[in-house]
A = this chain, B = another copy of it.
Amino acid sequence: MSKCEQCIIKRFNALKSLTHDELVKFSDHKTTLHIKKGENLMTEGNAINGLYCIRDGKGKLTKLSTNGKEQIIKFVKGGDILGQRSILSDEPVGLNATALEDMHVCFIPKQDIIDTIKDNGQFSLNIMKIISHQLNQANTLVSQMAQKPVKERLAETLITLEMIFGIDNEGCIDVVLTREEIANTIGTATESAIRLLSNLKKDGVIDLINKKILILDKSALKNMSEGY
């Protein structure tokens, strides 16, 4: 099994501030999971007993609302860590984490994380920074969901998806989502999302290639996301 000390992924997240000894400890205690597309890594309401570090693959973080609809709160990919919020607040997991494609994930036991937070001030601060940043993002999202019409939210979401997942060699946003998942991201009915996407294609703003989306006119999308 590969070792944390040599793992390239850690350069991109809070684990970069770990000492060599801490990395060795993590490496000794970690387990590696293979999550297949559609499977859950974490489930809303469950207790969690460690931190997940995504090596590769893509996932969605969702919340089930009381009316049974799924809301996608955030997308994740290699380098992201999951579970820190729940570990720190000692609350159950607040979101479902589901694989959008096969994922490799390392699991580090809770006690190692807690110990390291106490010992390593820089690590502690990095984790705080991540959560603080996520809180800011979530607040922004609340405002957007509450104030922006569906069309603007879709435009915003397409830009965000390209930023998160980048583009493939055809220029398409490098993630495959169903229309339903797009609808659940912007908080609208699937049919509404389909119609708006069709309109964007008709207007030459995007193209729909196989299961992926190609942004043709990003500045048009940007304007649209701001209500112009």
**Chain A residues proximal to chain B, CB less than 8 Å:** 63, 65-67, 69, 71, 73, 84-86, 88-91, 94-95, 117-118, 121, 124-125, 127-129, 131-136, 138-148, 186-187, 225-227
Contact between B65 and A144 (Cβ–Cβ < 8 Å)? yes
Contact between A142 and B88 (Cβ–Cβ < 8 Å)? no
Cα A227 to Cα B66 in complex, Å, equals 8
Q: Which residues of B contact A121 (CB under 8 A)?
A: 118
Q: Copies per complex?
A: 2
Known: A124-B124, A134-B135, A138-B139. A88 touches B146 (CB 8 A): no
Cα A184 to Cα B63 in complex, Å, equals 23
**Which residue from chain B places its CB closest to the CB of A188 in the assembled complex?**
B146
Q: Which residues of B contact A146 (CB under 8 A)?
A: 71, 145, 186-187
Task: For residue A171, give the distance in angstroms from its CB to the closest CB of chain B.
Answer: 27
Q: Which residues of B contact A124 (CB under 8 A)?
A: 117, 124, 128
Q: Which residues of B contact A125 (CB under 8 A)?
A: 88, 117
Known: A121-B118, A139-B63, A227-B67. A91 touches B133 (CB 8 A): yes
Which one of B63, B131, B133 lies within 8 Å of A132 (CB-CB)? B131
